[in-house]
Amino acid sequence: MQKCSKCKHENEKCDHCGSYVNEKMDMRYENADRRSQQRNQTMIDKVWRFFASVRNGMYILFLTLLATALGTILPQRAYIPIDRLAQEFYESEYGNFGSLYYALGFDQLYSSWWYMTLLGMLGASILIASIDRFFPLYRALKLQPVKRKKHFLISQVYVRNMEISDHEILLKQIRARRYRIRQDGQDYLAEKNRFARWGPYVNHIGLLLVLLAAFLRLFPYFYQDEFVWIRDGETAVVPDTDQSLFIKNEQFHVDTYDKDDPKFKAAIEQEGRSIPKSFTTDIIVYEGEDHIAGDTPGLRVLTQLKVSVNHPVKAAGFTIYQSGYQLNEFSSLTLRAENEEGISADLKVDTDNPQANYTLDNGLQATLVDYYPDYQLDGDKMTTASKYPRNPAFVFDISEGDNTQRLFIAIDEVVSETETNKYNVRAVDYDTHNVTGLSVKRDLTLPVFLLGGLIFMIGLVQGLYWQHRRIWLQRQPDGSYLIAGHTNKHASSFERELDSIFYNYDKGESS
């Protein structure tokens, strides 16, 4: 026997306070026994209870949305100019706030461990809250009896007593509204649109798929967005492919607008340089053969393609885009060093990978102290605008025996940083090359995102446009019927539907 919810006396109707047992029944879950409501005190139960709480889930969602908003204040690192160093970009463009943004790791927020932890907690909350409610509700609805206690019926949103002389006419009226009717003796239960109750759980499945797609983006197999600069004639490995994909730049072509064409002359003069009309790269895509870690893999040709702006190509499951170029980039710089006797010797510095030490024919030693691939001055501070050798500058220690002189050397500038000026060094020659910039992308998570979004919309429509409606017809000892109705939403519309059914019955209509 159950207890009265108010005074705890055991009875169907409490003689002590006059209220009915479980009068305030939670119809959302049919008073189903959920694990999160049990009084177990194990650690697993406590964790389960935490994530099953809708309130805790809302807190986690709020923190996730707040973190997501923080990532939109400044551009993420993936969207800053390709040739800019991240730290220098945020500091120069946004000042101290940009430096703090970079230092806190917000420039790569969406792949940070703590953001992924928030997404994981949100996914756990959605999953556990759904399991905690779905299975008990499913069992309660599947096994719901036709006969219900009176205190249950009179607590519903629609309650009335009436005499029913012809059951078939009334049941026909109810069936005409697409209700399915079950009978137990002289009692009836009419029900329709039960599937609407599962709308929120379908939503949750869609959200979990979206979160799963976000997690899969952490793995290179499912998502890669790489950028590679490749000189003419060179072959470069695509990063994070475990040396399985290589691209060779056979030849880069750029077509510019004719500066003498009247249509473009003014724009070109205003720009102060040639304006590219199109640029294209002839590439060969190679597959790296199986090899021992540390060895250079053999290459097998997969395909030969031409990639141009707005015309990407596909190869080996990747999409390759023409994303940039650099004309006349320095590949080497020849410096001439002269000792005190006037004897000179040349050293050739590879701007892509300079050596640390050089021994010259005239007996001088050159030690590389610092290197600025794309040198610029920021006030009194020397910085590099990018990591690519577009304006190379070096700091060398030039020595002979115990005598050492430190020099700053650029294309058209040499400055001694020491008091003595015994050795003379200057740039005398350089080599250049063209470089193509290719974006190499693979996104196997996009179908998962789309599927999750589609399932979420199905659940949204399912829950919004249909309502689970039930009508109980319970015969009373005096021969009349106690009629009760319940809907999970839109109660006024449901009451109008029932009034219409019973009005038509009273009129004797059987449409």
For residue range 432-459, what is the model confidence (pLDDT) as tens digits? 888 898 999 999 999 999 999 999 999 9
pLDDT at 154 over 50: yes
Share of the chain above pLDDT 90, in %: 32
Asked if residues 419 and 207 have their Cβ atoms less than 8 Å apart, the reply is no
User: Which pLDDT band, with edges at 50, 70 and 90, does 383 fall under?
Assistant: confident
Q: Give helix 199-216 / helix 113-142 axis angle, nearest 10°.
A: 150
pLDDT at 306 over 60: yes
For the record, the structure tokens of 12 come out as: 């169907």
Per-residue pLDDT reduced to its tens digit, 180-189: 999 999 999 9
How many whole angstroms separate alpha carbon 374 and alpha carbon 385?
5
How many whole angstroms separate alpha carbon 219 and alpha carbon 443?
11
How many whole angstroms separate alpha carbon 487 and alpha carbon 495?
9
Share of the chain above pLDDT 70, in %: 90
Q: Give helix 43-52 / helix 54-70 axis angle, nearest 10°.
A: 70
pLDDT at 66 over 60: yes
pLDDT at 402 over 60: yes
Please give the mean pLDDT across all residues of the chain.
Answer: 84
Q: Which residue has the higher pLDDT, 267 or 12?
A: 267
Hey, which residues does 346 pair with through a beta bridge? 336
Hey, which residues does 47 pair with through a beta bridge? none
Asked if residues 226 and 455 have their Cβ atoms less than 8 Å apart, the reply is no
User: Which pLDDT band, with edges at 50, 70 and 90, does 1 fall under?
Assistant: very low
Asked if residues 374 and 389 have their Cβ atoms less than 8 Å apart, the reply is yes
Highest mean pLDDT among 239-248, 269-278, 419-428: 239-248
How many whole angstroms separate alpha carbon 188 and alpha carbon 475?
9
Backbone angles phi, psi at 294, to 5 degrees: 100, -25
N-term to C-term CA, the chain = 44
> What are the residues whose beta carbons fall under 8 Å from the beta carbon of 346, sequence distance 6 or more?
334, 335, 336, 337, 360, 428
Of the candidates 107, 348, 123, which has an alpha carbon nearest to the alpha carbon of residue 214? 123
Q: What is the mean pLDDT of residues 243-256?
A: 88
How many whole angstroms separate alpha carbon 87 and alpha carbon 101?
10
Residue 257, CB-side half-sphere exposure with 13 Å CA sphere? 17
* pLDDT for res 29: 73
pLDDT at 388 over 90: no
Angle at 360 between CA 357 and CA 365, to 5 degrees: 50
How many whole angstroms separate alpha carbon 186 and alpha carbon 164?
11
This prediction has a pTM of 0.71
Pairing of strands 235-237, 223-231: unpaired
Q: What is the mean pLDDT of residues 194-220?
A: 92
